[in-house]
Structures are given as structure tokens and as C-alpha cells.
A and B are shown apart, each in its own frame.
Chain A
Amino acid sequence: MPHLDAAYNLAYWMTRSRADAQDVVQDACLRAFKYFDTFAGENPSAWLLSIVRRAGYTWLELNRRPEEQGGFDGDAVQSAVEGPSLLMGSHGLARDPETLLVEARQSEGLHRLIAALPLEYREIIVLRELEELSYRDIAEVAGIPIGTVMSRLARARALLLRQWQREQQE
């Protein structure tokens, strides 16, 4: 089931939590199942990812902490990068030690920098660099025009590059 991996990967990067990603994917699969009859497109994989993405946004609206909302500027990126929030669950509760360890190991380098990107840039980076979707598929998943995909990708890479180069110089 390669598409379930894609669904899980996207949900993980949206929620930045493995446990929450599972809830989002399960919710999305049930929704997809319910509405499969109405699916008329030609790319079921992008369709499923678009449902995962919507489920992810719904989940974030219901669960994310206030400080994660808004703010697409460099300062927000900086504070997210430096803050301990990645070691915390989305509910602000500390995880069990094993999860903490796993996530701490992953909170290094590019993993941490991508996790700190504002959501609208993070999802584009994940869809392009990790899922390797075409611009057209990204547009379909995110429900935005291809031109917007291109400008967001350019902005996302610029943000990421700046942070990455800063870290390499240190």
C-alpha cells in the first residue's frame, strides 16, 4: 500500500507527531471511503492526499496550540527551530520516553528545519521533495493553481536554504 505511506508521511509533517498522524490518516481513509462514489478525477492518489491534507487542517484547527497559529515570517521559523516544541506532543504534553528519544534523534539538521517551516511552505516541501509529486499533482492535492505551487515552492526553498546555510556556517 504505497499510498498509505504517502498519506502517513504528509500527515506526520503536518501534525509533526506520529501518533496524531495516525489519527489523521485513519480519519481521512474513512472519509475517502465514504466519498469514493463521488470521486471523478483521474488521479486517485492525489485525491486521497487531498483528503488527508484537509483532515490534517481540520485536526490542526481543533488541536494546535495558539502559538503555532499564524506567523509566516522568519522570526516564527527561528523560534520554532530553537524552541523545544518538537519534543512535545501537539497537545503540549510530553511524550513517553521512547517517542521522545526517537523524535529527538530526528530533531536534527534538515528534519528539524523542515518541521519548523510554516505549514503552507512545509506541505509544499514535503509533497515536492519527499513525495516527489509533479507540480500538477501538488496543485491538485493542495487545491491551488500551479503558479501558486511554484511561488510557494520558491519561497519555501528560500526560507529553508537561509536556515540551512546559517547552520552550516556555525
Chain B
Amino acid sequence: MDCTQAQQLRHAYLDGEIDPGETPALEAHLRSCDECAALFRSERELSAAIKLQVPRLKAPELLRARIGRELARADAGNRRFRELRLLGVGWNPLAIAASLALAMVASSAVTSSVLSGAQEDRVAQEVVASHIRSLMADHLTDVK
């Protein structure tokens, strides 16, 4: 292996992306070539220093809230359709949790509708709406 070949493999090696079949040849080259070995050490130091010194930013809470609101607004027209579809997808634990919550809200709304019809409905609707809004934000950003 020459230095040119080693140059890119060095990075793949550093990043754990090297083809295992190429590892022995690269390691042999790094043992025999001081220049490449020094570069590799520097690159490894740089990579570690970045992780240590440069913090990964967290999204501000206000941004989360803003996006949740915007998505809810954008979806106002077809919320009902979206809600059913989302719950049907089922890959998101939140969707499952929300569907359970919806079922509970729905059943309690039915059983207690005798007691206080309109008000209960409105509460249920609000609960559903807020669940869906939170689901919207997570649906897009927290998918695994």
C-alpha cells in the first residue's frame, strides 16, 4: 500500500468505516510510514478535540413549540384524516400511546355523555386536539 491509497483509508479507519479486509494492509503501512502515522495521530486528536470542545446544540424549547403550532395550523384542514392515518401507522410509541389515550377519552366521552353532553364533548375534543398536535411535532422529528 502506498501513501496515496492510505490517505483515504486512514479516515475510514478512524471513523470505523474501513473494510475489515483492508485493515491489515493499512495497519502495516501506518507501522512502516512515519509520515502517514503522524497524520493519522493528528487526525485522531482533532476528531477527539472537536467532540470535547464543540458542544452539540440543543433545539430551543421555543422552536419546538413554534413548530408544533405551525404544523397544527398547516394540518388544520385534514387533521381528522391525518389522525386516523397516523394511528394506523403504529411505528411510533407515541402514536400507540396517543391512540390508547384517544380510546380512553372517546369511551369516557360516550359513557359520561348522559351527564354533561356538550361540555364533555368539548373537553374531549380539546384533549384529542392537543394529543394530535404533540404527535405532529414528534411524528416528523422523533421517528426512529
Selected interface stretch from B10-18, B22-30, B102-110, B111-119 = B10-18
* Chain B residue nearest to A45 in the complex (CB): B143
In contact, A44 and B143 (Cβ under 8 angstroms) = yes
In contact, B47 and A129 (Cβ under 8 angstroms) = yes
Nearest Cβ on chain B to A123's Cβ, whole angstroms: 14
Given contacts A151-B8, A157-B43, is CB(A5)–CB(B57) below 8 Å? Answer: yes
Taking CB atoms and an 8 Å cut-off, the chain A residues in 118-170 that contact chain B are 125, 128-131, 134-135, 150-151, 153-154, 157, 160-161, 164-165
* Chain A residue nearest to B58 in the complex (CB): A5
Residues of A within 8 Å of B, CB-based: how many?
43
Interface bits A10-31 vs B (CB < 8 Å: 1, else 0): 0010000010011001100110
Interface bits B51-71 vs A (CB < 8 Å: 1, else 0): 101101111101110110011
Q: Which residues of B contact A29 (CB under 8 A)?
A: 67, 70-71, 137, 140-141
B120 proximal to A (CB < 8 A): no
Interface bits B31-58 vs A (CB < 8 Å: 1, else 0): 0000000000011001101110110111
Tell me the dominant secondary structure on chain B's binding face: helix
Which residue of the partner chain, among A9, A44, A111, A160, contacts B46 with CB atoms under 8 Å?
A160
Nearest Cβ on chain A to B46's Cβ, whole angstroms: 5
Interface residues of A, Cβ cutoff 8 Å to B: 1-5, 7-9, 12, 18, 21-22, 25-26, 29-30, 32-34, 36, 44-45, 48, 109-111, 114, 125, 128-131, 134-135, 150-151, 153-154, 157, 160-161, 164-165
| Supplied contacts A25-B67, A131-B56, A150-B12, 5 more A-B pairs, CB within 8 Å | A1-B141, A22-B62, A45-B143, A130-B51, A164-B49
Interface residues of B, Cβ cutoff 8 Å to A: 7-8, 10-12, 15, 17, 42-43, 46-47, 49-51, 53-54, 56-60, 62-64, 66-67, 70-71, 74-75, 136-144
